[in-house]
Structure 1
Amino acid sequence: MEGIGLVLEGGGMRGLYTAGVLDFFMEKNLYFPYVIGVSMGACNACSYISRQKGRNKKINIDYVNDSRYLSCRNLIFKKGLFGIDFIFDEIPNKLEIFDKKSFNNASEKFIITTTDCDRGEPVYFDKNQCLDEEIFNVIRASSSLPFMASIVKFRGLNLLDGGISDPIPIKKSIKDGNNKNVIILTRNRDYVKKPFRMKFLANKIYYNYKGLVNAMINRHKKYNNTLSYIEQLEKEGNVFVIRPKEQLKVRRIEKDKNKLTELYNQGYKEASQCYDKLEQWIVG
Protein backbone atom coordinates (compact mmCIF):
# COMPACT_ATOMS: atom_id res chain seq x y z
CA MET A 1 0.00 0.00 0.00
CA GLU A 2 2.91 2.32 -0.60
CA GLY A 3 1.74 5.82 -1.49
CA ILE A 4 -1.67 5.57 0.20
CA GLY A 5 -2.44 7.95 3.05
CA LEU A 6 -5.12 7.94 5.72
CA VAL A 7 -6.54 11.41 6.48
CA LEU A 8 -8.60 11.87 9.66
CA GLU A 9 -10.83 14.88 10.24
CA GLY A 10 -11.50 16.11 13.80
CA GLY A 11 -14.93 17.17 14.99
CA GLY A 12 -14.94 16.72 18.76
CA MET A 13 -17.29 13.97 19.91
CA ARG A 14 -18.31 13.30 16.30
CA GLY A 15 -14.95 11.54 16.20
CA LEU A 16 -16.68 8.48 17.67
CA TYR A 17 -17.65 7.76 14.05
CA THR A 18 -13.96 7.62 13.13
CA ALA A 19 -13.26 5.43 16.17
CA GLY A 20 -15.77 2.89 14.85
CA VAL A 21 -14.24 2.93 11.37
CA LEU A 22 -10.70 2.48 12.71
CA ASP A 23 -11.71 -0.36 15.00
CA PHE A 24 -13.12 -2.18 11.98
CA PHE A 25 -9.86 -1.51 10.11
CA MET A 26 -7.92 -3.01 13.02
CA GLU A 27 -10.10 -6.11 12.96
CA LYS A 28 -9.19 -6.51 9.30
CA ASN A 29 -5.52 -5.77 10.04
CA LEU A 30 -5.74 -2.82 7.66
CA TYR A 31 -3.01 -0.31 8.40
CA PHE A 32 -1.98 2.49 6.07
CA PRO A 33 1.70 3.50 5.84
CA TYR A 34 0.90 7.20 6.33
CA VAL A 35 -1.62 8.67 8.78
CA ILE A 36 -2.38 12.35 9.31
CA GLY A 37 -4.89 13.55 11.87
CA VAL A 38 -6.44 16.71 13.22
CA SER A 39 -7.71 17.21 16.77
CA MET A 40 -9.97 14.25 17.63
CA GLY A 41 -8.75 12.59 14.45
CA ALA A 42 -5.20 12.69 15.80
CA CYS A 43 -6.40 11.26 19.13
CA ASN A 44 -8.11 8.39 17.33
CA ALA A 45 -5.00 7.78 15.25
CA CYS A 46 -2.87 7.17 18.34
CA SER A 47 -4.84 4.09 19.42
CA TYR A 48 -5.02 2.91 15.79
CA ILE A 49 -1.24 3.08 15.44
CA SER A 50 -0.67 1.44 18.85
CA ARG A 51 -3.08 -1.37 17.81
CA GLN A 52 -5.42 -0.80 20.78
CA LYS A 53 -8.84 -1.66 19.41
CA GLY A 54 -11.73 -0.32 21.49
CA ARG A 55 -9.61 2.13 23.46
CA ASN A 56 -11.01 5.26 21.80
CA LYS A 57 -14.56 4.04 22.34
CA LYS A 58 -13.94 3.32 26.01
CA ILE A 59 -12.27 6.66 26.73
CA ASN A 60 -14.78 8.87 24.96
CA ILE A 61 -17.93 7.09 26.11
CA ASP A 62 -17.10 5.67 29.54
CA TYR A 63 -15.54 8.90 30.80
CA VAL A 64 -17.75 11.47 29.07
CA ASN A 65 -19.85 12.10 32.19
CA ASP A 66 -16.82 12.25 34.47
CA SER A 67 -16.43 15.90 35.49
CA ARG A 68 -12.67 15.56 35.09
CA TYR A 69 -13.20 14.78 31.40
CA LEU A 70 -15.85 17.32 30.38
CA SER A 71 -17.63 19.89 32.56
CA CYS A 72 -18.29 23.56 33.19
CA ARG A 73 -16.28 23.08 36.37
CA ASN A 74 -13.21 22.55 34.21
CA LEU A 75 -13.97 25.80 32.42
CA ILE A 76 -13.91 27.65 35.73
CA PHE A 77 -10.98 25.96 37.44
CA LYS A 78 -8.94 24.57 34.54
CA LYS A 79 -9.62 27.30 31.94
CA GLY A 80 -11.05 24.75 29.53
CA LEU A 81 -14.26 22.79 29.05
CA PHE A 82 -12.34 19.55 28.60
CA GLY A 83 -10.01 18.40 31.37
CA ILE A 84 -6.88 18.43 29.24
CA ASP A 85 -4.56 17.17 32.00
CA PHE A 86 -6.97 14.35 32.80
CA ILE A 87 -7.39 13.36 29.15
CA PHE A 88 -3.75 13.57 28.10
CA ASP A 89 -2.01 12.55 31.31
CA GLU A 90 -4.10 10.58 33.79
CA ILE A 91 -6.08 8.55 31.24
CA PRO A 92 -3.16 7.36 29.05
CA ASN A 93 -0.73 6.87 31.93
CA LYS A 94 -2.99 5.47 34.67
CA LEU A 95 -6.55 4.59 33.63
CA GLU A 96 -6.57 3.42 29.99
CA ILE A 97 -2.89 2.75 29.52
CA PHE A 98 -1.52 3.86 26.16
CA ASP A 99 0.84 1.30 24.64
CA LYS A 100 3.78 3.60 23.97
CA LYS A 101 6.06 0.74 22.97
CA SER A 102 3.75 -0.47 20.19
CA PHE A 103 3.12 3.13 19.13
CA ASN A 104 6.82 3.94 18.91
CA ASN A 105 7.67 0.69 17.15
CA ALA A 106 4.89 1.01 14.58
CA SER A 107 6.09 1.50 11.02
CA GLU A 108 3.36 4.00 10.12
CA LYS A 109 4.36 7.60 9.54
CA PHE A 110 2.07 9.71 11.73
CA ILE A 111 1.61 13.45 11.24
CA ILE A 112 -0.24 15.62 13.76
CA THR A 113 -1.78 18.90 12.62
CA THR A 114 -1.74 21.99 14.84
CA THR A 115 -2.27 25.73 14.32
CA ASP A 116 0.38 28.37 14.98
CA CYS A 117 -1.55 31.14 16.75
CA ASP A 118 0.92 33.85 15.76
CA ARG A 119 0.81 33.19 12.03
CA GLY A 120 -2.55 31.45 11.75
CA GLU A 121 -0.88 28.73 9.69
CA PRO A 122 -0.77 24.95 10.15
CA VAL A 123 2.24 23.35 11.80
CA TYR A 124 2.75 19.62 11.31
CA PHE A 125 4.62 17.33 13.69
CA ASP A 126 5.97 13.87 12.82
CA LYS A 127 5.72 11.34 15.66
CA ASN A 128 9.24 10.16 14.87
CA GLN A 129 10.53 13.66 15.58
CA CYS A 130 8.87 13.84 19.00
CA LEU A 131 10.20 12.36 22.22
CA ASP A 132 7.97 10.07 24.30
CA GLU A 133 7.03 12.84 26.70
CA GLU A 134 6.37 15.27 23.84
CA ILE A 135 3.83 13.34 21.79
CA PHE A 136 0.89 14.05 24.08
CA ASN A 137 1.80 17.74 24.23
CA VAL A 138 1.45 17.84 20.46
CA ILE A 139 -1.83 15.88 20.53
CA ARG A 140 -3.03 18.22 23.28
CA ALA A 141 -2.23 21.23 21.10
CA SER A 142 -3.97 19.71 18.08
CA SER A 143 -7.09 19.13 20.23
CA SER A 144 -7.20 22.45 22.10
CA LEU A 145 -10.28 24.25 20.79
CA PRO A 146 -10.30 28.06 20.81
CA PHE A 147 -12.44 29.57 23.60
CA MET A 148 -12.55 26.16 25.29
CA ALA A 149 -8.87 25.49 26.01
CA SER A 150 -5.67 27.35 26.75
CA ILE A 151 -2.99 27.92 24.15
CA VAL A 152 -0.31 25.21 24.30
CA LYS A 153 3.29 26.38 24.25
CA PHE A 154 5.60 23.91 22.54
CA ARG A 155 9.08 24.41 21.08
CA GLY A 156 8.68 28.17 21.19
CA LEU A 157 5.34 28.10 19.37
CA ASN A 158 1.86 29.04 20.58
CA LEU A 159 -0.43 26.28 19.34
CA LEU A 160 -4.14 25.46 19.18
CA ASP A 161 -6.53 23.11 17.37
CA GLY A 162 -5.22 22.03 13.98
CA GLY A 163 -8.73 22.21 12.55
CA ILE A 164 -8.57 26.00 12.56
CA SER A 165 -5.93 26.21 9.83
CA ASP A 166 -6.12 22.82 8.08
CA PRO A 167 -9.35 21.00 9.00
CA ILE A 168 -8.91 18.16 6.49
CA PRO A 169 -5.18 17.94 5.66
CA ILE A 170 -5.49 16.14 2.33
CA LYS A 171 -3.12 18.55 0.56
CA LYS A 172 -0.41 17.88 3.15
CA SER A 173 -0.77 14.14 2.59
CA ILE A 174 -0.48 14.58 -1.18
CA LYS A 175 2.51 16.89 -0.72
CA ASP A 176 4.16 14.17 1.36
CA GLY A 177 3.92 11.78 -1.59
CA ASN A 178 0.57 10.03 -1.25
CA ASN A 179 -1.15 9.93 -4.63
CA LYS A 180 -4.10 8.01 -3.17
CA ASN A 181 -5.81 8.73 0.13
CA VAL A 182 -8.53 7.29 2.32
CA ILE A 183 -10.35 10.17 4.03
CA ILE A 184 -12.58 9.71 7.06
CA LEU A 185 -14.90 12.68 7.54
CA THR A 186 -17.20 13.38 10.47
CA ARG A 187 -19.89 15.36 8.66
CA ASN A 188 -22.65 14.30 6.29
CA ARG A 189 -22.18 14.76 2.55
CA ASP A 190 -24.48 17.80 2.34
CA TYR A 191 -22.68 19.73 5.09
CA VAL A 192 -21.52 23.28 4.33
CA LYS A 193 -19.64 25.21 7.01
CA LYS A 194 -21.17 28.60 7.81
CA PRO A 195 -19.20 31.85 8.27
CA PHE A 196 -17.62 32.53 11.65
CA ARG A 197 -19.95 34.55 13.89
CA MET A 198 -17.69 35.30 16.85
CA LYS A 199 -15.27 37.80 15.31
CA PHE A 200 -15.75 40.37 18.09
CA LEU A 201 -15.12 37.81 20.84
CA ALA A 202 -12.13 36.36 18.99
CA ASN A 203 -10.55 39.81 18.66
CA LYS A 204 -11.27 40.47 22.32
CA ILE A 205 -9.73 37.25 23.62
CA TYR A 206 -6.97 36.71 21.06
CA TYR A 207 -5.97 40.33 20.48
CA ASN A 208 -2.30 39.32 20.50
CA TYR A 209 -2.85 36.65 17.86
CA LYS A 210 -4.14 38.31 14.70
CA GLY A 211 -3.06 35.36 12.59
CA LEU A 212 -5.25 33.06 14.65
CA VAL A 213 -8.24 35.41 14.42
CA ASN A 214 -7.87 35.67 10.64
CA ALA A 215 -7.66 31.88 10.37
CA MET A 216 -10.87 31.50 12.38
CA ILE A 217 -12.65 34.11 10.26
CA ASN A 218 -11.63 32.39 7.02
CA ARG A 219 -11.98 28.83 8.23
CA HIS A 220 -15.36 28.23 6.58
CA LYS A 221 -13.91 29.16 3.18
CA LYS A 222 -10.95 26.83 3.61
CA TYR A 223 -13.17 24.00 4.84
CA ASN A 224 -15.71 24.30 2.03
CA ASN A 225 -12.99 24.70 -0.61
CA THR A 226 -11.30 21.57 0.73
CA LEU A 227 -14.56 19.63 0.46
CA SER A 228 -14.87 20.75 -3.18
CA TYR A 229 -11.29 19.65 -3.80
CA ILE A 230 -11.98 16.26 -2.20
CA GLU A 231 -15.09 15.85 -4.35
CA GLN A 232 -12.98 16.40 -7.46
CA LEU A 233 -10.34 13.92 -6.27
CA GLU A 234 -13.10 11.42 -5.56
CA LYS A 235 -14.40 11.73 -9.13
CA GLU A 236 -10.87 11.12 -10.39
CA GLY A 237 -10.59 8.00 -8.25
CA ASN A 238 -7.70 9.33 -6.18
CA VAL A 239 -9.48 9.33 -2.82
CA PHE A 240 -11.82 6.95 -1.04
CA VAL A 241 -14.11 8.89 1.29
CA ILE A 242 -15.83 7.38 4.31
CA ARG A 243 -18.35 9.71 5.96
CA PRO A 244 -21.58 9.31 7.96
CA LYS A 245 -24.43 8.25 5.69
CA GLU A 246 -27.17 8.57 8.31
CA GLN A 247 -28.00 12.07 9.55
CA LEU A 248 -25.75 12.99 12.46
CA LYS A 249 -27.35 13.39 15.88
CA VAL A 250 -24.13 14.06 17.77
CA ARG A 251 -22.82 17.58 18.34
CA ARG A 252 -19.17 18.59 18.73
CA ILE A 253 -19.78 18.67 22.50
CA GLU A 254 -22.00 15.71 23.36
CA LYS A 255 -22.55 13.86 26.66
CA ASP A 256 -25.36 11.47 25.71
CA LYS A 257 -23.76 8.02 25.93
CA ASN A 258 -26.50 6.41 23.85
CA LYS A 259 -25.96 8.84 20.97
CA LEU A 260 -22.20 8.41 21.18
CA THR A 261 -22.49 4.63 21.17
CA GLU A 262 -24.84 4.76 18.18
CA LEU A 263 -22.35 6.93 16.30
CA TYR A 264 -19.48 4.56 17.07
CA ASN A 265 -21.59 1.62 15.88
CA GLN A 266 -22.53 3.58 12.76
CA GLY A 267 -18.86 4.12 11.90
CA TYR A 268 -18.09 0.44 12.42
CA LYS A 269 -21.10 -0.68 10.36
CA GLU A 270 -20.51 1.71 7.47
CA ALA A 271 -16.84 0.74 7.32
CA SER A 272 -17.86 -2.91 7.03
CA GLN A 273 -20.39 -2.06 4.32
CA CYS A 274 -17.83 -0.34 2.10
CA TYR A 275 -14.89 -2.63 2.88
CA ASP A 276 -15.07 -4.71 -0.30
CA LYS A 277 -15.09 -1.55 -2.43
CA LEU A 278 -12.20 -0.17 -0.40
CA GLU A 279 -10.14 -3.31 -0.99
CA GLN A 280 -10.78 -3.06 -4.74
CA TRP A 281 -9.85 0.63 -4.72
CA ILE A 282 -6.60 -0.07 -2.86
CA VAL A 283 -5.38 -2.59 -5.43
CA GLY A 284 -6.87 -0.74 -8.40
Structure 2
Amino acid sequence: MNIGLVLEGGGLRGCYTAGVLTWLIDQGIEADTVVGISSGAMLGSYYMLKDKNALHEIGVTYASDPKNIGLQPLLHEGTPVGYRFLFETVLKKILHYDYRELQAVTRTFEFGVYSLKLQKTIWKNQHTMDNELKYMLAACTLPLAGRSVKIDGVKYLDGGITTMVPIGHAEELGASKFLVVVTKDPDFVRKPNGRVTQFLLDLLYFNYKKLLKDFRARTQVYYDEMNHVRDLQGKGQAILLQPTRDCGVKHFSGTREQMEIMFDLAKEDCENRKDEILAFFAK
Protein backbone atom coordinates (compact mmCIF):
# COMPACT_ATOMS: atom_id res chain seq x y z
CA MET A 1 0.00 0.00 0.00
CA ASN A 2 1.56 3.29 -1.16
CA ILE A 3 0.50 6.15 1.12
CA GLY A 4 1.08 9.65 -0.20
CA LEU A 5 1.62 12.84 1.76
CA VAL A 6 0.32 15.82 -0.23
CA LEU A 7 1.50 19.28 0.86
CA GLU A 8 -0.05 22.57 -0.26
CA GLY A 9 1.99 25.77 -0.13
CA GLY A 10 0.37 28.82 1.43
CA GLY A 11 3.21 31.27 2.08
CA LEU A 12 3.39 32.13 5.77
CA ARG A 13 0.53 29.74 6.44
CA GLY A 14 3.12 27.03 5.89
CA CYS A 15 3.64 27.21 9.66
CA TYR A 16 0.60 24.91 9.86
CA THR A 17 2.26 22.37 7.56
CA ALA A 18 5.43 22.61 9.65
CA GLY A 19 3.41 21.75 12.76
CA VAL A 20 1.73 18.77 11.10
CA LEU A 21 5.05 17.41 9.83
CA THR A 22 6.61 17.82 13.27
CA TRP A 23 3.78 15.76 14.77
CA LEU A 24 4.18 13.06 12.11
CA ILE A 25 7.90 12.80 12.88
CA ASP A 26 7.13 12.52 16.61
CA GLN A 27 4.76 9.64 15.84
CA GLY A 28 7.29 7.88 13.63
CA ILE A 29 4.97 8.14 10.62
CA GLU A 30 6.73 7.85 7.25
CA ALA A 31 4.74 8.38 4.07
CA ASP A 32 5.89 6.36 1.07
CA THR A 33 5.45 9.25 -1.35
CA VAL A 34 5.73 12.97 -0.54
CA VAL A 35 4.61 15.63 -3.01
CA GLY A 36 4.99 19.33 -2.19
CA ILE A 37 4.18 22.62 -3.84
CA SER A 38 5.76 25.99 -2.99
CA SER A 39 6.56 26.16 0.75
CA GLY A 40 5.24 22.61 0.96
CA ALA A 41 8.23 21.55 -1.14
CA MET A 42 10.79 23.00 1.25
CA LEU A 43 8.97 21.82 4.37
CA GLY A 44 8.44 18.41 2.82
CA SER A 45 12.17 18.03 2.32
CA TYR A 46 12.76 18.64 6.03
CA TYR A 47 10.10 16.06 6.86
CA MET A 48 12.05 13.58 4.73
CA LEU A 49 15.14 14.47 6.78
CA LYS A 50 13.17 14.21 10.07
CA ASP A 51 14.52 17.61 11.08
CA LYS A 52 11.98 19.04 13.54
CA ASN A 53 14.16 22.00 14.48
CA ALA A 54 14.44 23.13 10.87
CA LEU A 55 10.68 22.76 10.37
CA HIS A 56 10.03 25.22 13.18
CA GLU A 57 12.84 27.56 12.18
CA ILE A 58 11.71 27.73 8.54
CA GLY A 59 7.98 27.53 9.23
CA VAL A 60 7.84 30.05 12.07
CA THR A 61 11.05 31.75 13.21
CA TYR A 62 12.50 32.93 9.91
CA ALA A 63 9.22 33.03 8.02
CA SER A 64 8.08 35.77 10.40
CA ASP A 65 11.40 37.64 10.23
CA PRO A 66 11.03 41.18 8.77
CA LYS A 67 13.87 40.33 6.37
CA ASN A 68 11.69 37.61 4.81
CA ILE A 69 8.58 39.52 3.74
CA GLY A 70 7.73 43.18 3.39
CA LEU A 71 9.65 46.44 3.18
CA GLN A 72 13.10 45.12 4.12
CA PRO A 73 13.43 42.60 1.29
CA LEU A 74 11.89 45.12 -1.08
CA LEU A 75 14.66 47.58 -0.19
CA HIS A 76 17.53 45.07 -0.01
CA GLU A 77 16.58 42.54 -2.68
CA GLY A 78 14.12 44.45 -4.85
CA THR A 79 11.36 41.88 -4.30
CA PRO A 80 8.53 41.60 -1.72
CA VAL A 81 9.89 38.26 -0.48
CA GLY A 82 13.47 37.88 0.73
CA TYR A 83 14.42 34.77 -1.19
CA ARG A 84 18.13 35.58 -0.97
CA PHE A 85 17.84 35.97 2.80
CA LEU A 86 15.89 32.73 3.14
CA PHE A 87 18.08 30.56 0.92
CA GLU A 88 21.56 32.08 1.15
CA THR A 89 21.49 33.08 4.81
CA VAL A 90 18.99 30.82 6.54
CA LEU A 91 19.08 27.54 4.63
CA LYS A 92 22.75 27.49 3.70
CA LYS A 93 24.55 29.38 6.48
CA ILE A 94 22.33 28.93 9.54
CA LEU A 95 20.57 25.61 9.02
CA HIS A 96 23.32 24.11 6.82
CA TYR A 97 20.90 22.47 4.39
CA ASP A 98 22.62 19.37 2.99
CA TYR A 99 21.03 18.13 -0.21
CA ARG A 100 23.22 15.01 -0.07
CA GLU A 101 21.44 13.82 3.07
CA LEU A 102 18.15 14.24 1.25
CA GLN A 103 19.44 12.30 -1.75
CA ALA A 104 20.26 9.41 0.58
CA VAL A 105 16.57 9.05 1.48
CA THR A 106 15.07 6.24 -0.61
CA ARG A 107 11.40 7.23 -0.32
CA THR A 108 9.79 9.18 -3.16
CA PHE A 109 9.90 12.97 -2.83
CA GLU A 110 8.84 15.29 -5.65
CA PHE A 111 8.06 19.00 -5.96
CA GLY A 112 6.74 21.14 -8.78
CA VAL A 113 8.42 23.94 -10.72
CA TYR A 114 6.88 25.90 -13.58
CA SER A 115 9.03 26.02 -16.72
CA LEU A 116 8.65 29.31 -18.59
CA LYS A 117 10.08 27.61 -21.67
CA LEU A 118 7.43 24.87 -21.68
CA GLN A 119 4.82 26.97 -19.84
CA LYS A 120 3.79 24.05 -17.68
CA THR A 121 4.63 22.52 -14.32
CA ILE A 122 7.28 19.83 -14.31
CA TRP A 123 8.39 17.70 -11.37
CA LYS A 124 11.77 17.46 -9.69
CA ASN A 125 13.04 15.19 -6.92
CA GLN A 126 15.88 15.04 -4.41
CA HIS A 127 18.19 13.56 -7.05
CA THR A 128 17.92 16.65 -9.26
CA MET A 129 19.06 18.98 -6.45
CA ASP A 130 22.52 20.43 -5.95
CA ASN A 131 24.22 22.66 -3.41
CA GLU A 132 22.82 25.80 -5.04
CA LEU A 133 19.26 24.59 -4.26
CA LYS A 134 18.07 26.35 -7.41
CA TYR A 135 15.16 24.04 -8.16
CA MET A 136 13.94 24.36 -4.58
CA LEU A 137 14.27 28.14 -4.86
CA ALA A 138 12.27 28.08 -8.08
CA ALA A 139 9.61 25.92 -6.43
CA CYS A 140 9.05 28.65 -3.84
CA THR A 141 9.21 31.68 -6.18
CA LEU A 142 5.82 33.17 -6.99
CA PRO A 143 5.56 35.33 -10.15
CA LEU A 144 5.06 38.67 -8.38
CA ALA A 145 6.95 37.84 -5.20
CA GLY A 146 10.37 37.20 -6.70
CA ARG A 147 12.39 36.86 -9.89
CA SER A 148 12.29 33.73 -12.01
CA VAL A 149 15.18 31.35 -11.38
CA LYS A 150 17.40 30.52 -14.36
CA ILE A 151 18.80 26.98 -14.49
CA ASP A 152 20.78 25.84 -17.53
CA GLY A 153 19.36 28.70 -19.55
CA VAL A 154 15.72 27.98 -18.65
CA LYS A 155 13.65 30.16 -16.31
CA TYR A 156 11.49 28.57 -13.62
CA LEU A 157 8.84 29.67 -11.12
CA ASP A 158 6.59 28.13 -8.46
CA GLY A 159 4.70 25.05 -9.68
CA GLY A 160 1.71 26.38 -7.75
CA ILE A 161 0.81 28.31 -10.89
CA THR A 162 -1.00 25.19 -12.13
CA THR A 163 -1.51 22.99 -9.06
CA MET A 164 -2.02 24.05 -5.47
CA VAL A 165 -3.02 20.75 -3.87
CA PRO A 166 -0.99 18.24 -5.92
CA ILE A 167 -3.19 15.22 -5.30
CA GLY A 168 -3.16 14.31 -9.00
CA HIS A 169 0.60 14.00 -9.13
CA ALA A 170 0.64 11.84 -6.00
CA GLU A 171 -1.76 9.51 -7.81
CA GLU A 172 0.51 9.49 -10.87
CA LEU A 173 3.37 8.38 -8.62
CA GLY A 174 1.38 5.34 -7.52
CA ALA A 175 -0.06 6.42 -4.18
CA SER A 176 -3.49 4.96 -3.43
CA LYS A 177 -4.14 6.54 -0.02
CA PHE A 178 -3.41 10.14 0.88
CA LEU A 179 -2.81 12.38 3.87
CA VAL A 180 -3.48 15.85 2.48
CA VAL A 181 -2.32 18.97 4.33
CA VAL A 182 -3.78 22.33 3.32
CA THR A 183 -3.13 25.61 5.11
CA LYS A 184 -6.52 27.32 4.84
CA ASP A 185 -9.34 26.81 7.32
CA PRO A 186 -12.67 25.33 6.11
CA ASP A 187 -14.25 28.78 5.72
CA PHE A 188 -11.55 30.02 3.34
CA VAL A 189 -12.83 31.32 0.01
CA ARG A 190 -10.38 31.56 -2.89
CA LYS A 191 -11.22 34.48 -5.14
CA PRO A 192 -10.12 35.21 -8.72
CA ASN A 193 -7.10 37.46 -9.18
CA GLY A 194 -7.70 41.08 -8.28
CA ARG A 195 -7.43 43.74 -10.97
CA VAL A 196 -4.06 45.06 -9.80
CA THR A 197 -2.58 41.56 -9.55
CA GLN A 198 -3.82 40.60 -12.99
CA PHE A 199 -2.60 43.89 -14.49
CA LEU A 200 0.90 43.32 -13.11
CA LEU A 201 0.93 39.73 -14.34
CA ASP A 202 -0.19 40.82 -17.80
CA LEU A 203 2.48 43.52 -17.82
CA LEU A 204 5.39 41.37 -16.63
CA TYR A 205 4.54 38.14 -18.44
CA PHE A 206 2.94 39.40 -21.67
CA ASN A 207 5.17 37.04 -23.68
CA TYR A 208 3.86 34.00 -21.79
CA LYS A 209 0.24 33.61 -22.85
CA LYS A 210 -0.12 30.08 -21.47
CA LEU A 211 1.21 31.19 -18.06
CA LEU A 212 -1.36 34.00 -17.93
CA LYS A 213 -4.09 31.54 -18.87
CA ASP A 214 -2.89 29.13 -16.17
CA PHE A 215 -2.87 31.89 -13.58
CA ARG A 216 -6.43 32.90 -14.42
CA ALA A 217 -7.54 29.29 -13.99
CA ARG A 218 -6.03 28.84 -10.51
CA THR A 219 -9.24 29.46 -8.58
CA GLN A 220 -11.15 26.75 -10.44
CA VAL A 221 -8.18 24.37 -10.31
CA TYR A 222 -7.99 24.80 -6.54
CA TYR A 223 -11.65 23.90 -6.07
CA ASP A 224 -11.37 20.98 -8.49
CA GLU A 225 -8.42 19.60 -6.52
CA MET A 226 -10.16 20.08 -3.18
CA ASN A 227 -13.31 18.40 -4.49
CA HIS A 228 -11.21 15.45 -5.62
CA VAL A 229 -9.65 15.22 -2.15
CA ARG A 230 -13.11 15.20 -0.58
CA ASP A 231 -14.26 12.49 -2.99
CA LEU A 232 -11.31 10.36 -1.89
CA GLN A 233 -12.18 11.16 1.72
CA GLY A 234 -15.66 9.82 1.17
CA LYS A 235 -14.18 6.57 -0.14
CA GLY A 236 -11.89 6.22 2.88
CA GLN A 237 -8.81 6.83 0.74
CA ALA A 238 -7.82 10.23 2.14
CA ILE A 239 -7.51 12.21 5.33
CA LEU A 240 -7.68 15.99 4.98
CA LEU A 241 -5.86 18.06 7.58
CA GLN A 242 -6.48 21.80 7.67
CA PRO A 243 -6.57 24.48 10.38
CA THR A 244 -9.68 24.10 12.51
CA ARG A 245 -9.79 27.86 13.04
CA ASP A 246 -8.44 31.07 11.54
CA CYS A 247 -5.29 32.17 13.37
CA GLY A 248 -4.97 35.47 11.49
CA VAL A 249 -2.02 34.37 9.34
CA LYS A 250 -2.30 35.29 5.66
CA HIS A 251 -0.21 34.33 2.65
CA PHE A 252 2.11 37.32 3.05
CA SER A 253 1.35 38.57 6.56
CA GLY A 254 1.37 37.26 10.10
CA THR A 255 3.07 37.98 13.41
CA ARG A 256 5.48 35.62 15.13
CA GLU A 257 2.85 35.05 17.84
CA GLN A 258 0.13 34.19 15.31
CA MET A 259 2.42 31.78 13.54
CA GLU A 260 3.44 30.05 16.76
CA ILE A 261 -0.26 29.64 17.55
CA MET A 262 -0.92 28.17 14.10
CA PHE A 263 2.07 25.81 14.42
CA ASP A 264 0.76 24.58 17.77
CA LEU A 265 -2.78 24.32 16.37
CA ALA A 266 -1.49 21.93 13.72
CA LYS A 267 -0.10 19.58 16.35
CA GLU A 268 -3.30 19.93 18.37
CA ASP A 269 -5.45 19.12 15.32
CA CYS A 270 -3.33 16.03 14.65
CA GLU A 271 -3.48 14.92 18.27
CA ASN A 272 -7.27 15.22 18.23
CA ARG A 273 -7.32 12.85 15.24
CA LYS A 274 -4.45 10.68 16.38
CA ASP A 275 -6.33 7.36 16.38
CA GLU A 276 -7.71 8.05 12.90
CA ILE A 277 -4.30 8.96 11.47
CA LEU A 278 -2.46 6.04 13.07
CA ALA A 279 -5.10 3.58 11.86
CA PHE A 280 -4.89 5.06 8.35
CA PHE A 281 -1.15 4.42 8.17
CA ALA A 282 -1.41 1.00 9.83
CA LYS A 283 -3.60 -0.50 7.09
- TM-score calculated relative to the size of structure 1: 0.92
Residue 44 of structure 1 corresponds to 43
How far did residue 119 of structure 1 move? Answer: 4.3
1:243/1:139 CA distance change after superposition, 3 Å: same
How far did residue 52 of structure 1 move? Answer: 0.8
8 Å CA contact 2:12–2:63 kept in 1: the answer is no
1:220/1:214 CA distance change after superposition, 3 Å: same
8 Å CA contact 2:247–2:258 kept in 1: the answer is no
Q: 95-104 vs 159-168, which deviates more?
A: 95-104
* Counterpart code for 1:184: V
Q: 69-78 vs 159-168, which deviates more?
A: 69-78
In structure 2, runs of 5+ residues without a counterpart are: none
* Counterpart code for 1:153: K
Do structure 1's residue 168 and structure 2's residue 165 form an aligned pair? Answer: yes
Do structure 1's residue 82 and structure 2's residue 81 form an aligned pair? Answer: yes
* Counterpart code for 1:223: Y
Give the whole-Å Cα distance in 2 for the aligned partners of 1:119 and 1:190: 35
Counterpart mapping for 1:134-153 below 5 A: 136-153=133-150
Residue 192 of structure 1 corresponds to 189
Q: 98-107 vs 39-48, which deviates more?
A: 98-107
Give the whole-Å Cα distance in 2 for the aligned partners of 1:73 and 1:21: 30
**Number of residue pairs aligned between Structure 1 and Structure 2:** 281
Report the identity percentage.
25
* Counterpart code for 1:132: D
In structure 1, runs of 5+ residues without a counterpart are: none
Give the whole-Å Cα distance in 2 for the aligned partners of 1:25 and 1:178: 18
Give the whole-Å Cα distance in 2 for the aligned partners of 1:17 and 1:66: 17
1:155/1:4 CA distance change after superposition, 3 Å: farther
Residue 245 of structure 1 corresponds to 244
How far did residue 188 of structure 1 move? Answer: 1.6
How far did residue 182 of structure 1 move? Answer: 0.9
How far did residue 88 of structure 1 move? Answer: 1.3
8 Å CA contact 1:188–1:248 kept in 2: the answer is no
* Counterpart code for 1:79: G
Give the whole-Å Cα distance in 2 for the aligned partners of 1:195 and 1:69: 26
CA RMSD after TM alignment: 1.8
Secondary structure class of the residue paired with 2:279: helix
Give the whole-Å Cα distance in 2 for the aligned partners of 1:269 and 1:74: 33
8 Å CA contact 2:60–2:263 kept in 1: the answer is no
* Counterpart code for 1:260: M
8 Å CA contact 1:119–1:211 kept in 2: the answer is no
How far did residue 117 of structure 1 move? Answer: 2.9
Give the whole-Å Cα distance in 1 for the aligned partners of 2:59 and 2:215: 26
1:213/1:118 CA distance change after superposition, 3 Å: farther
Give the whole-Å Cα distance in 1 for the aligned partners of 2:61 and 2:225: 33
Secondary structure class of the residue paired with 1:114: strand
How far did residue 133 of structure 1 move? Answer: 2.1
Per-residue Cα deviation, 1:180-219 (whole angstroms, up to 9, x for no partner): 1111111122333211223222111111222211111111
